C-alpha cells in the first residue's frame, strides 16, 4: 500500500547531536496518522511531525481508551535499516485494542505505515552501537463526547524518536508489597495507558527510598513476582533460568521476553516459565544460587538487577561482570540487530 505523504520542506535532522542523543527530546521529521470513522479505517497519511488538535471533550482524555506499543529500528554497518519484530508488536497492539474495546489496526496501516515512515526518516536512525530509532505506535478514542460509553471514532498514529545507547547501570529493585499493578480479570496484559499512570506514585515513592524500579507482585498475596512495569523479569537460580508465566493475564507478553526465551532455549539453557515466588528467590539467594536477575524490554533490552529489597531484607546480586547468561544475551541480541550474526529467527524486518 502506498501511503499519501506530505514531506517537510526542510528536515530538522541537523538539530540532533549524533554524539549525544537524548531519547524523547526530539522526534523525527514525519508522523503517521490514520483515523477510524463510521466503522472503517480512513486512508493513512504521513505528514510533518506537528502538534495535534482535539476537542477538550475528547473521550480518551476522560476515560482512557488509549493504547501504545514500543518498537525499535536499527541501522547496520552497511547502512541498511531494519525493524526488530514489528509484526509481533502489531499482534500485541491488536490484543490490547480488543481488551480496550477499540478496533483492530489492519496490517497495511500498522506494518506498511511503519515501514514507509521509517524509510522516509531513515536519516534519523542512528548508527552507533547500542543506538536505535524508537518507534511509538499508539491509538486513542476521539469521540468528542463525555458520556461514559465505548467510543466510535479512533486515531492511530506513529511517531519516532532517535535513542542513544542505553547504559544499563545495574538497577536497585524494590519488591512491591503494598500497591498492585494488575490483577486477574483486569488489563495488566495490555499496553493500555492506564496501566502506566497507576504506577507513577508507587514508583515515585520507592525512588525517594533510593530504589530505581518496582518488581510487582501478585495482588492476592504479594507472593509471586510479576514484572517490572516496563520490563519482564528473569532469574538465574542455580542452573535454571526462570521467568513468570503469562497465564494469569497480569503480565505483558514482552517481545524481548519472547526473544530471550527463544535464544536461551536455542542455546541449550534450561528455561522455565512458571509461577515464581519471592520466597523461592530468597531461598536461592541464601543457598548461593541466585546468580543473575535481569529485566527485559524494548527500551532497556537487558537490564541487570544489582539488588532486590523485599520486606526489610536486601538481596545483593554478584557483580554483573561475572554474569554469563545476561551478558551473552545482550551481545547476541545486539549482533542480530546490527547484522553481525545470522538472523536465523527472521526477526529483522528490512526497511531499506
* The only residue of 81, 100, 173, 233 in contact with a second copy, by rule CB under 8 A: 100
Length, in residues, of the chain: 352
Of the pair 152, 343, the CB lying nearest a second copy is at 152
Of the pair 6, 148, the CB lying nearest a second copy is at 148
Alpha-carbon distance of 282 to 175, in angstroms, equals 12
CA 110 to chain centre: 16
* The only residue of 18, 54, 77, 270 in contact with a second copy, by rule CB under 8 A: 54
* The only residue of 149, 267, 274, 350 in contact with a second copy, by rule CB under 8 A: 149
Alpha-carbon distance of 266 to 69, in angstroms, equals 27
DSSP code of residue 18: T
Q: Is 328 in the site for a second copy (CB under 8 A)?
A: no
According to DSSP, the residues that pair with 135 across neighbouring strands are 71, 160
Q: Is 198 in the site for a second copy (CB under 8 A)?
A: yes
Q: Is 295 in the site for a second copy (CB under 8 A)?
A: no
C-alpha cell at position 36: 477510524
Q: Is 204 in the site for a second copy (CB under 8 A)?
A: yes
Q: How far is CA 180 from CA 58, 64, 228, in A?
A: 29, 19, 12
Q: Is 6 in the site for a second copy (CB under 8 A)?
A: no
Could you list the beta-strand ranges (E) of 96-231.
132-141, 154-163, 171-175, 213-215
Give the binding range for a second copy (CB under 8 A) out of 2-10, 62-70, 104-112, 285-293. 62-70
Of the pair 25, 267, the CB lying nearest a second copy is at 25
The distance of closest approach from Cβ of residue 40 to a second copy in the complex, given in angstroms and rounded to an integer, is: 19
* The only residue of 43, 79, 197, 319 in contact with a second copy, by rule CB under 8 A: 197
The distance of closest approach from Cβ of residue 28 to a second copy in the complex, given in angstroms and rounded to an integer, is: 11
31: Cα within 13 Å, side-chain hemisphere: 19
Best CA proximity match to 218, nearest among 261, 191, 194, 248: 248
Alpha-carbon distance of 343 to 157, in angstroms, equals 29
C-alpha cell at position 8: 517537510
Number of residues this chain uses to bind a second copy (CB under 8 A)? 63
Alpha-carbon distance of 187 to 151, in angstroms, equals 18
Specify whether the CB–CB gap between 309 and 279 falls below 8 A. Answer: no
Give the binding range for a second copy (CB under 8 A) out of 34-42, 96-104, 266-274, 307-315. 96-104
Give the binding range for a second copy (CB under 8 A) out of 13-21, 125-133, 198-206, 338-346. 198-206
C-alpha cell at position 215: 518488581
Site string for a second copy, 220-239 (x = CB under 8 A): x--------xx---------
* The only residue of 23, 269, 309, 328 in contact with a second copy, by rule CB under 8 A: 23
Which residue ranges make up the site for a second copy (CB under 8 A)?
A: 23-25, 27, 31, 49, 51-57, 60-66, 68, 98-101, 134, 136, 138, 140, 145-151, 157, 159, 161, 178-181, 183-187, 192-198, 200-201, 203-204, 219-220, 229-230
Amino acid at each position: 500500500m502506498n501511503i499519501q505523504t506530505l514531506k517537510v520542506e526542510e528536515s530538522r535532522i541537523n538539530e540532533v547531536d549524533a554524539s549525544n542523543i537524548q531519547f524523547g527530546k526530539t522526534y523525527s521529521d514525519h508522523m503517521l496518522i490514520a483515523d477510524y470513522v463510521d466503522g472503517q479505517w480512513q486512508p493513512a497519511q504521513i505528514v510533518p511531525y506537528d502538534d495535534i488538535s482535539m476537542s477538550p471533550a475528547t473521550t480518551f482524555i476522560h476515560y482512557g481508551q488509549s493504547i501504545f506499543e514500543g518498537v525499535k529500528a536499527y541501522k547496520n554497518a552497511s547502512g541498511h535499516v531494519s525493524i526488530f519484530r514489528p509484526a509481533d508488536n502489531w499482534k500485541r497492539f491488536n490484543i490490547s485494542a480488543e481488551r480496550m474495546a477499540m478496533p483492530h489496526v489492519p496490517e497495511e496501516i500498522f506494518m506498511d505505515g511503519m515501514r514507509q515512515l521509517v524509510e522516509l526518516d531513515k536519516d534519523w536512525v542512528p548508527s552507533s552501537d547500542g543506538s536505535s530509532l524508537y518507534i511509538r505506535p499508539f491509538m486513542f478514542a476521539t469521540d468528542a463526547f463525555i458520556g461514559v460509553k465505548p467510543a466510535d471514532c479512533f486515531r492511530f498514529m506513529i511517531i519516532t524518536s532517535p535513542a542513544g545507547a542505553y547504559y544499563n547501570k545495574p538497577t536497585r529493585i524494590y519488591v512491591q508489597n503494598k500497591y498492585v499493578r494488575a490483577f486477574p480479570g483486569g488489563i495488566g496484559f495490555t499496553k493500555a495507558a492506564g496501566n502506566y499512570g497507576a504506577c507513577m506514585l508507587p514508583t515515585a515513592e520507592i525512588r525517594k527510598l533510593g530504589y530505581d524500579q518496582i518488581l510487582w507482585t501478585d495482588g492476592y498475596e504479594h507472593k509471586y513476582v510479576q514484572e517490572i512495569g516496563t520490563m519482564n523479569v528473569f532469574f538465574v537460580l542455580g542452573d535454571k533460568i526462570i521467568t513468570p508465566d503469562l497465564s494469569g493475564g497480569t503480565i505483558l507478553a514482552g517481545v524481548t521476553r519472547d526473544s530471550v526465551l527463544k535464544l536461551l532455549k536455542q542455546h541449550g539453557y534450561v528455561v522455565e516459565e512458571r509461577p515464581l515466588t519471592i520466597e523461592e528467590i530468597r531461598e536461592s539467594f541464601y543457598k548461593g544460587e541466585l546468580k543473575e536477575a535481569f529485566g527485559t524490554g524494548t527500551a532497556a533490552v537487558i537490564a541487570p538487577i544489582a539488588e532486590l529489597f523485599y520486606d526489610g531484607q536486601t538481596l545483593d546480586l554478584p557483580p554483573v561482570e561475572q554474569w554469563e547468561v545476561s551478558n551473552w544475551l545482550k551481545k547476541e541480541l545486539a549482533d542480530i540487530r546490527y547484522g553481525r550474526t545470522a538472523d536465523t529467527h527472521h526477526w529483522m524486518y528490512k526497511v531499506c
